[in-house]
Amino acid sequence: MPRIPTLALLLLLSLATPGTAFAQAASTPDFSGVWGAIVSPEMRPYYLAGFQASEPSMTPWGEAKYKEARPSFGPRAVPVEQTNDPVYNGCAPPGLPRAYLHPFPIQLVDVPGREVIILYEYDHLVRHVYTDGRLHDTSTGPTWMGDSIGRWEGDTLVVDTIGFNDKTWVDRLGHPHSEELHLVERFRRIDEKTLQIDMTIDDPKAYTKPWTVQLRYALRPPEWRILELVCEDDASFADFEKIAAAPAK
């Protein structure tokens, strides 16, 4: 039998057996699947517009930006034709954490040892949450969805995101954020079919202190798939809003 060069042998072994990072990833939960939001009765009046009933404590800068906003949702709502909401007045991406307030499912795809990919049905948004130990990369400058890295704390995926631009709102009510926004999400499967996301929104330019919100998602059946949704296609957008907002059967 011919001898295999040492380098080639090491390469074959690395392909045949999991590396350390992959072995560690095998013991972490798998969040893969399509998930739809669970809306509690007490939050139903606020869901789709904001994350909570109470107002977060804003800085003077934050209050000034908030007063400039003309949302089409909530107590300060104006007709859509008059809104300056960047989503409804130009089809801009909603950014984070607002993307969770659009009533469409999300899909999580686990790539063990490398990343968790989050696909939002709304506007085909995609996030890559790297779990391989890399640091934040802000070389491209501020972006709509920021730069996300993740780490595992037991059964919880902690996602740390920075590097946002300031062109989006935190929610549909017009709460602002600056480029200093720092979003931390904690994903945890509280049972087989329920995913909980605890979020901390920290932006010292816009808010006097960090504020937290909690979301829950129900696992959809395996045959469920996320659909195509294009903001510029107004007819489809309206139809999908009605479909996605309907209670799950």
The string of pLDDT tens digits covering residues 42-68 is: 667 667 788 888 899 999 999 999 999
- What's the pLDDT at 120? 96
- Residues in the chain predicted with pLDDT less than 50, given as ranges, are 1-25, 240-249
- What's the pLDDT at 26? 56
Cα distance between residue 221 and residue 27, in whole Å: 24
For residue 181 the two structure tokens come to 């926004």
List domains and CATH numbers for the chain: 21-245 (2.40.128.20)
- What's the pLDDT at 231? 80
Cα distance between residue 240 and residue 229, in whole Å: 8
What amino acid occupies position 98?
Answer: R
* Cα dihedral sign, 5-7-11-16: positive
Q: What are the respective helix, strand and coil percentages of the chain, to the nearest 5? A: 20, 30, 55
- What's the pLDDT at 234? 58
- What's the pLDDT at 11? 33
* Cα dihedral sign, 115-145-157-134: positive
For residue 233 the two structure tokens come to 């296609």
CB 94 within 8 A of CB 123: yes
